[in-house]
Amino acid sequence: MNTVVFVTHPEVAVDPSIPVPRWQLSPAGLARMRIFVAGEVCAAVRTVVASTECKAIEAAGLLAGRLGLPVSVHEGLGENDRSATGFVPPAEFEALADAFFARPEESVRGWERAIDAQARVVAAVDAVLAAAGPGDVAIVAHGAVGTLLGCHLAARPIDRRHDQPFQGHYFAFERDTRRPIHDWRPIAPR
């Protein structure tokens, strides 16, 4: 059985003066990702694919580097489009994220609708897996779209209670059947 490991980037260096897709991993995020890639979770991975956002590419690069593999990118793996609001302070962001998951068929302040982001990430994962060679696959992306993908795979309604507890988690599913193997697990202690 081949496995797909969906990994979310860990902590980022928040800088309101830089567009969110250009943010990079923070020192804490780099340290946690290095611990993860040194482990055995992805030891059998033969394909590494990331979203086009810097933080995901950086995290995927650490994993691919350990395995001696290249990193491919797929635009459909990007985080839900929040460009309508740009950066918002953390408390406001959490309230918007709650609304995004609570009302998946509505756009919250111009954000991409959750149902649209879910359809996009499911299609992207299908395309990634169709193009990947044999073996295990690691997909490095983002928390919200990972949650939407996980809800789809487990046939659960979209709900934030299925979200990762904090940045830097992974879940796994069977490549051929798309059957979930396990839910979110942290990549490393915080």
CB 11 within 8 A of CB 26: yes
Q: Predicted confidence band at 16 (pLDDT cuts at 50, 70, 90)? A: very high
pLDDT digits (tens, 9 = 90+) for 93-130: 999 999 999 999 999 999 999 999 999 999 999 999 99
pLDDT of residue 46: 98
pLDDT of residue 148: 98
pLDDT of residue 66: 97
| Cα 9 to Cα 101: distance, rounded to the nearest angstrom | 20
Residue type, 80: N
Strand partners, 171: 6
CB 44 within 8 A of CB 136: yes
pLDDT of residue 152: 98
Residue type, 99: A
pLDDT above 70 as % of the chain:
100
Which single residue is written with the structure tokens 């918002």?
Answer: 88
β-pairing, 3-8 with 71-73? unpaired
